[in-house]
Amino acid sequence: MSTLGTPLPAALIPDCTEPEAHHAAYRSAKANDAIFVCITRHGQHWNVELDAMSSSGPTISDEAVAFLRSAVEALVLADTVAQANIAPDYISMRAIESEQRAREIAAAFHAALHGLRQLCIAVPRQC
């Protein structure tokens, strides 16, 4: 069974503020068949980006996307995230107050997306 990489802990989420770092981290995720995740600094705030298209795993179900969307909406309602976009293979969140909080959010969503895709591999009919 494919493992689709490994979820990263907050401390290992790459800072891809510089374009070269972003390109290198994406290439590494693609080479390792892993879900891409990073944080970037924009002014005084931080952003989170996840991209599952860097790996060959299945697209998660609409129900799973709805679950992730509700988590993102909760962060927006709590003013933790100012703006967010979510699709079955891509999540971005903008204007997070601190690097540490951005890392925590990135790690949590990376683990969730990774787990949902692993579940789709293990139980394909549900996905």
**CATH number of 36's domain:** 3.10.310
Q: Which domain holds residue 61?
A: 14-122
Q: How many domains does the chain have?
A: 1
CA–CA distance, 62 with 64 (Å, rounded to integer):
5
Per residue of the chain (127 residues), give pLDDT as tens: 344 578 999 999 999 999 999 999 999 999 999 999 999 999 999 999 999 999 988 877 788 889 999 999 999 999 999 999 998 889 999 999 999 999 999 999 999 998 888 887 788 765 6
8 domain residue, yes or no: no
First to last CA, the chain: 16
89 domain residue, yes or no: yes
pLDDT on residue 127: 60
CA–CA distance, 100 with 46 (Å, rounded to integer):
9
1 domain residue, yes or no: no
> pTM of the predicted model, to two decimals?
0.90
Q: Collapsing DSSP states into helix, strand and coil, what is residue 11?
A: helix
pLDDT on residue 126: 59
Task: Please choose, from the candidates 3, 1, 8, 99, the residue with its C-alpha nearest in 3D space to the C-alpha of residue 50.
Answer: 8
pLDDT on residue 120: 79
Q: Give the Cβ contact number of residue 62 at 10 Å.
A: 11
